[in-house]
Each structure stands twice: as C-alpha cells, then as structure tokens.
Structure 1
C-alpha cells in the first residue's frame, strides 16, 4: 500500500474558517479514497502529529473537531488510519534523505519531497491553485558522484504524484492498483517480482544475491532506478536508435575500470557490462549491457560502485 504524505505547505494558510472546513471535508474524502483498498495498512505521514496541526492560521485541528458532529465524524474517519511522524520515520534508514533536497517555488518541502523519494503520493488541503493538480513539479537537488569521484549537487526537476480532490485520485487509479499488487519493500521481493515489474530487464543469476543483500536504504532508490530503466527500454526501437532515451543518467565506465565490468553472460561467454545507472545514498550502481536483438538490457551488478580490485 503506498504511503500518503501530507503536504505541510497546504496547512496553516490564511483562509477563513468556512473555507477551511470545506477544505478539511475534501481532504478526508481524498485520503479515504486513496486508502480504500486497504485502510488498515495505510499510513498518513506528516512531519508533525495530526493533533498538533493548524488547518488555517489560528484554527487548530482540535477546534475544528469540536465545531460540530460532522467534523467529529470526519476526524474519526481520519484517525482510523495510522499517522506516522516525523516524515523521516518511514525512511528505510535514518539518514536516507541526507543526499537530497526538494523545493517548490524555492521553498523547501518535506512531505512533497518524501512522496517522491519514497515513491508514494502527496495529499494537500485544497486551499490554493498550486494544489489543484494531480502532479506537482519540484526542484530536486541530489548529491552525486562525478567520474573523478568528487561530489556535487545535481539539480533537476521532478514530478510527484499528488491529490487534493477526488478527480486526482481517479487519475492515479492504475498506479494505485499496480502498487497494491506489485509493491516490493525488500530487495528479495524485487528479485521475486522482477518479471512482472520489469519485463524488458534481464537479470544475470548473480544479481539475485545482490538484491537479497541490498541495504534497506537502497531498496526504494534502486527500485526507482530499475523502473526508469524499464520505462526507457519499453519505448526503445533498436532499429531507430542505438540506445534507449534514458530517463536516468547512464554512462559507460571509465577506461581504467572497464575490465572490472566483464561478467559471464547467460550463454557462458564473458562480456562487457560497462553501462551503468546511479542511485543514492552513496555510490549505488546498476551495471548492464544492451541486448538490442531482444529489445532488452541485461543487468550484471546491482550495488556499490565496482572497483577494479574487486
């Protein structure tokens, strides 16, 4: 079940109580609609506990709850879901986000950024035009390793799933269904479901141990990287292009490291698997080679950066 991340920037805004009440009614409907398939296992993740939030300026949630029986009934529906806080409590490792920073229109955002990092969905109070959309664009800064092994922040834009109205939930129905059926929370689960999750990716047998032993902080980033590789290869026409149009950074290995990227292929031949994609935190790498005759790529290594002496 996907995690729901509360967009803190949509709370404590300067709107009147009537509008705040209407926004909360819509918010509860959206959250329950997303969680409908499995409410007992669904978590609403927020930086602060729900009871400490302000719906609007000087309008704490406790005051909203006590404003009438309808509000109290909505609160009980919301409280039926697990509330987890702070945001970092759901990360696979305590420092898993230390390499990332997300901003929206220049302002740092926790819930929206976490929804992207954890492959979840962000939910907002419908109080401003920025949140009247099924996808929110963010600026993402990521600490990456360059070819000379120095580190720098790389800045990109990303889109995060988002809902503030029931029509937005409808736009995410296919993803919600797929995530419930095929979500993989561990490296072992990624391996076991690889054929369904990544039909255009072929895995050498040696990668089973790589995934089974994958550090918990790498499961979601590695899975996301695999998803981007799968999406690129699915659109690839080898007759028209030598390589897919990658949706993540893919480069060949440096000349001094290439020989360390030779592995025994499925037919017993030693071949070069020097193309690699990156995932963080740290120096996560996925090494592979193109298999154009099968419109596929074949993966040989998933884990830390390959060293020539390994």
Structure 2
C-alpha cells in the first residue's frame, strides 16, 4: 500500500504567492501521478488536516482554493485521494515513548521519518531547492534493548524516498507497482501469503496466532526482517556453511535463557530456537533455527522478547 507522507518542513515557508501557486500545481500533479500507479491503495498522510495547512507564510490553503476556479478544481482532485491525519493514524508513533526519532538538519521531522519507517514515500511542496531531490537523508536515533536487558541508543543515517516533481515519480513507478503486488499490509496477510513471500522460511503453527495479533506498528518491521531472513536462506549452501550469511543481525541467546526458547517443532519434537533476529520499536524478536537438511530457516516465535515464567 503506497503511502505518501507529507513533509511538513516544506510548507509554511517564506515565499511570494506566485511561487507558492506554482508549487501547488506541481504538488497536486505529483500526488495524483503516484496515486495513478495504485489508485485503490494510495493515501496521503499528514500530521494536520490539509485544510489547516499554510502553503507559504500567511498564505493558508483555503485562500489558495478560493483564488480561482482552477485552484478549486485542483483541490477537488487532491481531496479525491484519501487523506489520513494525523500521521499517527497509520504510523503509531513509536517516538511517543522515546524509542525512535528522525531529524533532518538537526530538526525533528515526523512526516519524513514516518515515510522511512513505513517504507513509503515522502512528498514535498517544491518551494525551495532543498526539496528538488528524489531522496532525503535523515538522522535516525533508536532506543534498542540489548540481550542483557540494558538499553542504548543506536544512531544511523538513512535515506527516504522523496518526490516533489514528476521526474521523481518516474524513478519510483516500477517500485510502486511491484510493492503494490508484493506487500502484506497486516500480520494476517503475512501468514496467508507466507509461502509466496518467503519460500525458504518455514513457520511453526504457533506463529499463526502471533502474526494474526501482530501490533500494527510491527507489521513493516517484521516484514522487512523476514525478507532479509528469506534472502539469507535463498543464498545459503548448507554444504559450504553451517549457517546462512545473515543479512540482518542474528544472535544466540545466553545459556540461562535457552530454556525459554524451546518449542514443539513440526515433527512433534521439542527443539531450541535460541537464535533470534530483532525488530523495533521495542524489543521485538524472531526466534529461528537453520534446517541444513532442507536449506530452510524455521521460525518459531514472532513477537515481544520472550520473558521467563515467574
């Protein structure tokens, strides 16, 4: 489901109304061009309702709509696309509890960060050269729980897909089409489409309920983690390597925690699935074990970090 996230930093800047009017023409054309590739699913997500936005400083969108019949027609085209606000309606804001934060040039950004976290596209009003680019670099800070239970911040620079002109949309047309076909939007869909999406992964029956009840904010991180595990398994030659060459961080549990990682396997025997990959926000874990005889990875647990019974 292609999600377009409004870059709030590109609005309410200081510019003349003529420049703002031209930017709105481009903005509507860009949004509609993305939606044309997936008309049933594309949504425009903004922190505030579109009618409350200022195109430029002291130039509210309502004034632009009423300035001419052409502007009103463009507004109706824009409104035909489903708008979701606030951003938290589809991006449950893990930053609300301090787990995740995105910044651009030192300033916290919600729309750009949500576009990266939700694997979507950021869209900007092209009023300044800063937004005339098909990708934007962000500083990402994330609070992660280590295996010993301690917390630490991880910092990295990430790039988010970004459009503000029709040539930018051209760069992502193929990706939009392919992602619309391949994406699972819920945990239930991940389970139902697992054989097609992850042919080298095997899932214990217990994971069906875990995926069915998956926290919506974890759908994309889980999907991404499974995709990386699938890629590792697909490239794995068990005759050459005891384990796949992991494409995501996979670590073993310590000896004292292995007892909480024992599950009934597909053959009815109880096995230890102490290897685990992580996903965030929070302490998300996917517990697994490589099956060398089949060249597959078997998944036993998808959810929160397993806590020992008291």
TM-score normalized with structure 1 length? 0.87
Query: What does the per-residue CA deviation read over 1:40-89, in whole Å, with 9 as the maximum and x for residues that have no partner?
Result: 55321111211121222232222222333322221111111122222112
Q: Where does residue 140 of structure 1 map in the other structure? A: 140
Q: CA deviation at 1:240?
A: 7.0
Q: Tell me by how many angstroms 1:7 deviates.
A: 0.4
Give 1:258's aligned residue: 258
Counterpart-to-counterpart distance in 2, 1:293 and 1:172: 40
Kindly indicate whether residue 114 of structure 2 is the aligned counterpart of residue 114 of structure 1.
yes
- The secondary structure found in structure 2 opposite 1:202 is strand
- Unaligned stretches of 5+ in structure 1? none
Would the alpha carbon gap of residues 270 and 40 (structure 1) be closer, same or farther in structure 2, given more than 3 Å must change?
Answer: closer
Structure 1 residue 257 displacement after superposition: 0.9
Number of the residue aligned with 1:16: 16
Task: State TM-score, norm by structure 2.
Answer: 0.87
SS for the counterpart of 2:143 is strand
CA distance in structure 1 between the partners assigned to 2:235 and 2:170 by the alignment: 25
Shift of 1:185: 2.8
Unaligned 5+ residue runs, structure 2? none
Q: Output aligned runs, 1:79-118, within 5 Å.
A: 79-91=79-91, 93=92, 98=97, 99-118=99-118
Deviation at 1:237, TM superposition (A): 6.0
Q: 1:146 to 1:251 in 2, by over 3 A?
A: same
What CA distance in whole angstroms lies between the structure 1 residues aligned with 2:245 and 2:132? 31
- 1:260 to partner: Cα distance: 2.6
2:174 is paired with a residue of what secondary structure?
A: helix
Which has the larger displacement, 185-194 or 214-223?
214-223
| Distance across 2 between alignment mates of 1:105 and 1:241 | 43
Aligned mates of 2:167, 2:196 — CA distance in 1: 28
Greater shift in the superposed pair: 234-243 or 268-277: 234-243
1:199-210 equivalence runs, <5 A = 199-210=199-210
Give the equivalent residue in structure 1 for 2:222: 222
Are the aligned partners of 2:94 and 2:100 in contact in 1 as well (CA < 8 Å)?
Answer: no
Q: State the Cα distance separating 1:13 from its structure 2 match.
A: 1.9
Distance in 2 of aligned mates of 1:129 and 1:189:
40
What is the CA distance between 1:290 and its match in structure 2? 2.6
Task: State the shift of 1:108 in Å.
Answer: 0.6
Could you tell me which residue of structure 1 aligns to residue 193 of structure 2?
Answer: 193
Secondary structure class of the residue paired with 2:256: coil
In the alignment of these two chains, the number of paired residues is 309
Shift of 1:269: 4.8
Look up the match of 2:62. 62
Per-residue CA deviations over 1:197-222 (Å, capped at 9, x if unaligned) read 22332222222222123233433332
Residue 119 of structure 1: SS of its match in structure 2? coil
Cα deviation per residue 1:261-280 (whole Å; 9 max; x = unaligned)? 23344445544322211223
Q: Which residue of structure 2 lines up, in the alignment, with residue 181 of structure 1? A: 181
RMSD of aligned residue pairs (Cα, Å):
2.6
